[in-house]
A and B are shown apart, each in its own frame.
Chain A
Amino acid sequence: MKIPLGQIVALGLGAALAVAIAMPFIRHAPAGLRLDPVQVESGRQVYGQYCASCHGSHLEGQANWERPGADGYFPAPPHDASGHTWQHSDAQLHELTAHSVYAYAAPGYRSRMPAFAGTLSDRQIDDVIAYIKSTWPASLQAYQRVLNPAGIDFKDLPPGWKFPPTCRFHGS
Chain B
Amino acid sequence: MTNYLKTLGYGFAIALFALLAYTAYTRFAGTASNAGVVGGPFTLIDQNGRTVTDKDFKGRWLIVYFGYTHCPDACPTALNNIGATLDQLGAKRSRVTPIFITIDPARDTAATLKSYVASFGPEFVGLTGSDAAITAAEQAYHVYAAKHPTTDGGYDMDHSSVLYVMDPDGRFVTNFADETDPATLAERLKSLIP
Partners in one complex: yes
How far is A57 from B72 in the complex, measured between Cα atoms in Å?
36
B156 with A153: CB separation less than 8 A: no
Q: Does B176 contact A (CB under 8 A)?
A: yes
Identify which of A16, A30, A155 contacts B27 (C-beta below 8 A): A30
A153 and B178 in contact (CB under 8 A), knowing A15-B14, A163-B143, A171-B150? no
A169 interfacial by beta-carbon distance below 8 Å:
yes
A residues near B16, Cβ cutoff 8 Å: 18, 21-22
Given contacts A162-B143, A162-B160, contact A146 B33 (CB under 8 A): no
Give the total of A residues in contact with B, Cβ under 8 Å.
44
* B117 is an interface residue with CB less than 8 A from chain A: no
**When the two chains form their complex, are residues A18 and B19 in contact, meaning their CB atoms are under 8 A apart?**
yes
Contact of A167 among B3, B7, B71 (CB under 8 A): B71
Judged by a CB distance under 8 angstroms, whether B158 is at the interface is yes
Contact partners of A34 in chain B: CB under 8 A? 26
Given A146-B175, A155-B34, A172-B151, A164 and B160 touching (CB < 8 A)?
yes
Question: B10 at the A/B interface (Cβ < 8 Å)?
Answer: yes
CA distance A30 to B176 in the complex (A): 20
Residue in A11, A16, A30, A152 whose beta carbon sits within 8 Å of that of B7 in the complex: A11
Residues of A within 8 A of B30 (CB): 30, 32-33, 150-153
Residue in A closest to B19 when the chains form the complex, CB atoms: A22
Most buried by B among A18, A21, A33, A164: A18
A6 and B4 contacting across the interface, CB-CB below 8 Å: yes
Q: Whole-angstrom distance between the alpha carbons of A161 and B162 in the complex? A: 14
Q: A11-B10, A19-B19, A167-B178 are in contact. Are A154 and B34 (CB under 8 A)?
A: yes
Asked if B162 contacts A163 (CB within 8 A), the reply is yes
A15–B143 Cα distance when bound, in Å, is 45
For the complex, is A17 an interface residue (Cβ under 8 Å from B)?
yes
Pick from A18, A21, A87, A152: contact of B174, CB below 8 A. Answer: A152
- In the assembly, what is the distance between CA of A13 and CA of B13, in Å? 11
> Nearest-CB distance from A164 to chain B (Å)?
6
B148 interfacial contact with A, CB 8 Å: yes
When the two chains form their complex, are residues A161 and B150 in contact, meaning their CB atoms are under 8 A apart? no
Asked if A147 and B12 make an inter-chain contact with CB atoms under 8 angstroms apart, the answer reads no
A14, A139, A147: residue with the most chain B Cβ atoms closer than 10 Å: A14
A residues in contact with B59, CB < 8 Å: none
B29 CB to nearest A CB, Å: 6
- Name the distance in Å between A153's Cβ and chain B's nearest Cβ: 4
B159 within 8 A of A: yes
Name A26's contact: one of B23, B71, B72, B145 (CB within 8 Å): B23
Closest Cβ neighbor of B152 among chain A residues: A172
With the chains together, A111 CA to B28 CA distance in Å?
38
A residues with a Cβ closer than 8 A to B are 6-7, 10-19, 21-23, 26, 29-30, 32-34, 87, 139, 142-143, 146-147, 150-155, 161-169, 171-172
A sample of 14 inter-chain contacts (CB < 8 A) reads A10-B5, A14-B10, A14-B11, A14-B12, A15-B11, A17-B8, A17-B15, A18-B14, A18-B16, A152-B174, A154-B34, A162-B143, A163-B160, A165-B160
Residues in chain B within 8 A of chain A (CB atoms): 3-5, 7-16, 19-20, 22-23, 26-27, 29-31, 33-34, 37-38, 67, 71-75, 142-146, 148, 150-151, 156-162, 174-178
The 4 closest A-B pairs by CB, nearest first: A14-B11, A167-B74, A163-B160, A15-B15
